[in-house]
A and B are shown apart, each in its own frame.
Chain A
Amino acid sequence: MSLQSLDIRRRSATTLPSPEARTPASGEVAKLIDVTKCIGCKACQTACMEWNDLRQEPGENVGVYDNPLDLTENAWTVMRFTEYENPGSGNLEWLIRKDGCMHCEDPGCLKACPSPGAIVQYTNGIVDFHEENCIGCGYCVTGCPFDVPRISKKDHKAYKCTLCSDRVAVGLEPACVKTCPTGAIMFGTKEAMKDQAEDRIVDLKERGFDKAGLYDPAGVGGTHVMYVLHHADQPSLYADLPDAPRISPLVSLWKGVAKPLATLALGAAVIGSFFHYIVKGPIEVEPEAEDAVADDDVDAREDTR
Chain B
Amino acid sequence: MNPRDEIPRYTASERVNHWTVAICFVLLALSGLAFFHPAFFFLTDLFGGGPWTRILHPYIGLVLFVAFALLVARFWRHNLIERRDVEWLKRVPDMVASGDDSHMPEQERNNGGQKVLFWCLVAGILVLLLTGLVMWRAWWTPPILLIRVATLLHAIAAICCIGLIVAHVYAAIWVSGSIHAMVRGKVSRAWAWQHHRAWYRKMIGDHRH
Contact = CB atoms under 8 A, between A and B. Distances in A.
Interface stretch (B16-24, B59-67, B77-85, B151-159): B151-159
Nearest to B44: A135
A248 B147 CA distance: 11
Interface string B155-182: 1100100110011011001111100000
Interface string A11-31: 001110000000000000000
Contacts of B159: 258, 262, 265-266
A288 interface: yes
Interface in B168-209: 169-170, 173-177, 188-191, 193-194, 204, 206
Contacts of B169: 273
Interface stretch (A172-180, A202-210, A289-297): A289-297
B41 A116 contact: yes
A14 B151 contact: no
A199 interface: no
Assign chain B's interface to a size class. 35 or more
A194 to B, nearest CB: 30
B38 A142 contact: no
B35 A114 contact: yes
Interface stretch (A35-43, A59-67, A249-257): A249-257
The interface residues of chain A, by DSSP majority, are classed as helix
B170 A277 contact: yes
A188 interface: no
Contacts of B102: 286, 288
B70 interface: no
A250 B152 contact: yes
Contacts of A289: 3, 190-191, 193-194
Interface stretch (B93-101, B109-117, B121-129): B93-101
Given A279-B99, A283-B176, A293 B151 contact: no
Contacts of A288: 102, 194
Interface centre among A141, A156, A284, A290 (most CB of B within 10 A): A290
B53 interface: yes
Contact of B53 (A135, A141, A273, A285): A135
B90 interface: no
A137 interface: yes
A259 B152 CA distance: 11
Nearest to A273: B170
B50 A282 contact: no
Interface string A104-144: 00000000001110000000000000000101111101100
B96 A276 contact: yes
A269 interface: yes
A282 B163 contact: no
Contacts of A139: 35, 151
13 contacts: A114-B38, A114-B41, A135-B50, A138-B135, A139-B35, A248-B148, A258-B152, A258-B159, A263-B37, A289-B193, A292-B193, A293-B3, A293-B189
Given A260-B37, A262-B155, 15 more contacts: A115-B41, A135-B51, A135-B54, A137-B54, A138-B135, A250-B151, A254-B151, A262-B37, A266-B166, A270-B166, A273-B170, A276-B99, A280-B174, A294-B3, A297-B3
Interface of A: 13-15, 114-116, 133, 135-139, 141-142, 147, 156, 248, 250-251, 253-254, 258-260, 262-263, 265-266, 269-270, 273, 276-277, 279-286, 288-294, 296-297, 300
